Amino acid sequence: MIELKHVTKVFNRGRPNEYIAVDDVSLHLQGCCATVFKGPSGSGKTTLLSMIGCMTKPTSGRVTVGEREVTSLPERFLTSIRRSAFGFVFQQFNLVRGISALENVMLPAYPSGERHAALRDRALELLAAFDVAHRSDAHVEWLSGGEAQRVAIARALINNPVIIIADEPTAHLDTKLSKDFLSWMERLRSEGRTVLMASHDPLIYESEFVDRIVEMRDGRIVAGG
C-alpha cells in the first residue's frame, strides 16, 4: 500500500551544517497492518513518517501511496491527499487552545465544504466513540491529558482516513494512558486502517497487536526492512 524507493532527506544541503536525516531507505508497507518505527532520537523515524504522510518531500527517491506516486506532486495535490488519506496524532496533540474540543475535531474537515450540521454530527459521534462527548463544549486547555489525547484521535479520524500516523504518541503519557492509546489503535487497525507509529517506548513496540517493527539508526533501516 505504501512504498518507498531509495528515499533520502537532507537538511541544509550544501551548507556546513548539512544533515542527512534519512539515508537511502527502501521499504514496502502493507495496508491494514500496524507498523512501529523504532529507534533513538535522531534516528530518522519522524522524518520518514513525515514523508510518508506527504508533510515533507524527500530530497531524492520516490514515495508511493496506494497507486499514486506522490513525490513530484505540487503542494495543492499533497494537501488534498493529506486531508483525505491520513490522520495524524502528534506527540504534543497540537490541539488549538481557546476553542472547544468539538471545534478542534471539526477543524481538519472545514476545507471540504461539507454542511456544518452534518460535520458537527460526525464530530460528536467520534467524541462519543472515545467517551469524551460530555466534554465537547470544553476548551481544550480545560481537558485532562487522557481527554486531550482522545480528542486528538477523534480529530485524526474526522475525514475517515485509511492511514493513521502517530509520532511518539506516549511520550508524555503515564502507563495507563499509554495502554489506553494502544487499545484505541488496535481498534482502528481492526476496522481495516493502516497504523504507523514512531516510538522508542517498549509499551508500543512490544504490544501484541503490532504486526511489524522497523528499526532505524542514523537515518537507515537496520532491522525489519
The pLDDT tens digits for 26-75 are: 999 999 999 999 999 899 999 999 999 999 999 999 999 988 899 988 88
- Percentage of the chain beyond pLDDT 70 is 100
pTM tops 0.75, yes or no: yes
Q: Give every CB contact of residue 164 below 8 A, 6+ residues apart in sequence.
A: 86, 87, 88, 89, 156, 157, 185, 188, 193, 194, 195, 196
Q: Where are the beta strands (DSSP E) in 39-134?
A: 60-65, 68-69, 86-89
Give me the mean pLDDT over the 82-96 stretch. Answer: 89
pLDDT greater than 90 at residue 83? no
Q: How confident is the model at residue 93 (pLDDT cuts 50, 70, 90)?
A: confident
pLDDT greater than 80 at residue 87? yes
Residue 219, Ramachandran bin (φ over 0: left; ψ between -120 and 50: alpha; else beta): left
Q: Which domains does the chain have, with CATH numbers?
A: 2-223 (3.40.50.300)
| 3 state SS of 145 | helix
